[in-house]
Structure 1
Amino acid sequence: MNPALVAAPELQPSLQWLNATPQRIEAQRGRVLALVFWNAASAYCHTLLEDLVRLQARFPVGLSLLGIHQPKFDSELDGRLVLKAVNRLGLPFPVANDRGWTTWQHYGIQGWPSVALIDTRGRLRQVFTGDDQSGAIDVAVQGLIDEVGGAVMPGEPARRTGAEPRLPLAFPSGLAVGENHLYVADTGHHRILECTHSGRVLREFGTGHGDLVDGAPEDAAFRLPRGLCLVRESLYVADTGNHALRRIRLLDGVVETLLGNGRAGPVREGSGKAAELPLNQPWDVVGTLDRIYIAMAGTNQIWDYELGGAKLRRVAGSGELGIADGPAASAMFAHPAGLAQVQQTLYIADAASSAIRSLQVAQGQVQTLVGQGLYEFGDEDGQRREARLQFPQAIALDPSSPVLWIADSYNGSLRRLRLGGGDVATHPLSHALEQPAALATGPGSLWIANTGAHEVLRYDLGNGKLARLPIGE
């Protein structure tokens, strides 16, 4: 026995367990335990969590996972919000909210995502930090299992709590509106719905099982799709969980993969087959007749895909997490989550910096309209420099006035920014919003994906009436 190895610190009673009964390190002895330190608003964390779920499937007996969530935003102190994220991501293991950052400190964690590996005797063996550590973690887990000759013990499954209700929609996170149709990314059900403007379902694309499969509507598969944009007779999909750009040919319903291969990868400029051009957490798309712009949350960048030449190109963002204006190539973003476009201007909901940014595509210049920094957030109206948002995930341009609508997700509110130097104001609604994550506008109406409540709302911009659409009911 190595005398330098020490027992892993026990989990404290102050942890708020969200989806299972309280867990203890001592109870995990006999198998390898990975403590996963993560944050719900971090695309980096989402990528590593995907890899860890796959890893646990490889070692169903020898490896246990426990999630320790670290709140960054004020709203994440509320365990109900974090539980929504756990359920939206489909995490199959117990997760606790470490509201006081106690466990983080006990384990000496320096950043998220991090994984603390604990051996079968309950000793802390190694800590990995970063979203690119899945390969090293895989090797380390195999080594710890081999160390005991494969003699690992199956654990008692934790009693799960906090499941979402079974409803027609599950975490809808993408909307697009055409002349006669409304398209909904039913994210939690891994499918796309074509509806009338009043919410009657006409067609369904995807089997409802998370996978990456092209083909006819009833055969195709998506995984946690989010952003949508409509260009003529094609619907483009930011298939976030598959790290892919998909296209639905609306005339025949066939689904195609344009970019991505189902796994997060280094994004590079160029052309080629879809599998040769991986993406990393594409969250939203907007398009013109010749190109699709992609908000790449996993790399903190904006990319475009030229439809005619099938070429992928970086438009803005150095890749470094932050908030910095200026030339597009060196500008910094933080989890760009939502896009809107008017002519040669892109507006960007930069979620992790709680900011609204603009990109002048032709000039290659980035400007911050609202927001001051990665840790400057709140719920304040007023002039742009004083206004504060909290993890905004979607934006949409008003069809008849110079107003940008904002889904201020963590504040649970609809905000509006008057373009051309105007102020930020909260728009009162008669219906409570719960983590709204998508917006779309059409003549006289604004559609809102009330994501945490599993519903889509239609707001009449003329008379102010708000109605819940009976999609799938």
Structure 2
Amino acid sequence: SLQFDAEGNLFICDIGNHVIRKVDANTGIISTFAGTGKAGPTPDGSPISGTPLKGPRSIDFDAHGDLWLCTREGNQVFRFDLKAGVIHHIAGTGEKGFGGHGGPAKEAKLSGPKGIAIDADGNAWLADTESHSVRMIDAKTGTLELMAGTGVKGDGPDGDPLKCQFARLHGIFVDADGSIYIGDSETHRVRVMRKK
């Protein structure tokens, strides 16, 4: 995926090379923003420069200008504090799985997330592709919550999000009104969750 920051710089997930690239808005020059070119662990509190990444798949910016990343092969979520130059581990043990709902996000298992979107409250919404579900990291509590899907591959039905099955969802987007748009790849559908 790719995202623009507030200054118009373009950030690109180069998943095959395990790096995030940055295109400077003023010069047009591309450089490596994060990652070393080799897959590796990303320890909490590491400097952005020179720290490995493992399958950087999707990024988004929050209201504070921090960059959020989900890693497909790494099964984790990170927040890049651009002012401090530090990477914070937010969710996922690194082990692939589907569990830990209601508990600390850092202790939960993710399953190849391919989409991340940050809402106005700072919550991180995940398209957790291989678990066929939408999961959310609560900004206030630091817990991981299951928001849609059953963990089993399928197609619907519409209605209760926790009874609606997905099939390898890839994309997720939060609208200004809080609606969540979900790109469900194998059913060729875009589903939406709206606030009641």
Do the aligned partners of residues 362 and 253 (structure 1) sit closer, same or farther apart at CA in structure 2, a change above 3 Å counting?
farther
SS at match of 2:163: coil
Cα distance between partner residues in 2 of 1:323 and 1:406: 19
> Does residue 338 in structure 1 map to residue 112 in structure 2?
no
Which residue identity lines up with residue 175 of structure 2 in the other structure?
A: D
Which of 300, 304, 313 lines up with 2:79 in the alignment?
304
Do the aligned partners of residues 380 and 318 (structure 1) sit closer, same or farther apart at CA in structure 2, a change above 3 Å counting?
same
Alignment of 1:49-448 (within 5 A): 227-233=1-7, 234-272=9-47, 274=49, 276-288=50-62, 289-324=64-99, 325=101, 326-342=103-119, 343-373=121-151, 376-381=152-157, 382-399=159-176, 401-419=177-195
CA drift of 1:377 comes to 1.0
Do the aligned partners of residues 377 and 346 (structure 1) sit closer, same or farther apart at CA in structure 2, a change above 3 Å counting?
same
SS at match of 2:107: coil
CA drift of 1:280 comes to 0.6
Of Structure 1 and Structure 2, which has the larger fraction of its residues in helix?
1
Gaps of 5+ in 2: none
Which residue identity lines up with residue 86 of structure 2 in the other structure?
A: K
Deviation track 1:112-159 (CA, whole Å, cap 9, x = no partner) reads xxxxxxxxxxxxxxxxxxxxxxxxxxxxxxxxxxxxxxxxxxxxxxxx
Which residue identity lines up with residue 113 of structure 2 in the other structure?
A: P
Contact 2:45 2:89 in 1 (8 A): no
Cα distance between partner residues in 1 of 2:92 and 2:168: 19
Deviation track 1:413-468 (CA, whole Å, cap 9, x = no partner) reads 11112235xxxxxxxxxxxxxxxxxxxxxxxxxxxxxxxxxxxxxxxxxxxxxxxx
CA drift of 1:405 comes to 0.9
Of Structure 1 and Structure 2, which has the larger fraction of its residues in strand?
2
CA drift of 1:272 comes to 4.0
SS at match of 1:294: strand
Cα distance between partner residues in 1 of 2:24 and 2:125: 27
Alignment of 1:2-81 (within 5 A): none
Cα distance between partner residues in 2 of 1:308 and 1:361: 19
Cα distance between partner residues in 2 of 1:246 and 1:307: 14
Larger Rg, first or second structure (1 or 2): 1
Cα distance between partner residues in 2 of 1:360 and 1:386: 21
Q: TM-score, normalised by structure 2?
A: 0.90
Do the aligned partners of residues 270 and 386 (structure 1) sit closer, same or farther apart at CA in structure 2, a change above 3 Å counting?
closer
Do the aligned partners of residues 362 and 238 (structure 1) sit closer, same or farther apart at CA in structure 2, a change above 3 Å counting?
farther
Contact 2:39 2:55 in 1 (8 A): yes
Which residue identity lines up with residue 408 of structure 1 in the other structure?
A: D
CA drift of 1:355 comes to 0.3
SS at match of 2:162: coil
Q: Which moved more, 1:231-240 or 1:298-307?
A: 231-240
SS at match of 1:393: strand
Do the aligned partners of residues 273 and 368 (structure 1) sit closer, same or farther apart at CA in structure 2, a change above 3 Å counting?
closer
Contact 2:173 2:182 in 1 (8 A): yes
Cα distance between partner residues in 2 of 1:366 and 1:349: 13
Which residue identity lines up with residue 352 of structure 1 in the other structure?
A: E
Between the two proteins, the alignment pairs up a number of residues equal to: 190
Cα distance between partner residues in 2 of 1:260 and 1:369: 31
Cα distance between partner residues in 2 of 1:334 and 1:273: 24
Which residue identity lines up with residue 392 of structure 1 in the other structure?
A: L
Cα distance between partner residues in 1 of 2:47 and 2:125: 29
Cα distance between partner residues in 2 of 1:359 and 1:402: 15
Contact 2:19 2:32 in 1 (8 A): yes
Cα distance between partner residues in 2 of 1:327 and 1:271: 21
CA drift of 1:378 comes to 0.5
CA drift of 1:271 comes to 3.6
Aligned CA-pair RMSD: 1.6
CA drift of 1:290 comes to 3.6
SS at match of 2:186: helix
Do the aligned partners of residues 404 and 335 (structure 1) sit closer, same or farther apart at CA in structure 2, a change above 3 Å counting?
same
Which residue identity lines up with residue 403 of structure 1 in the other structure?
A: S
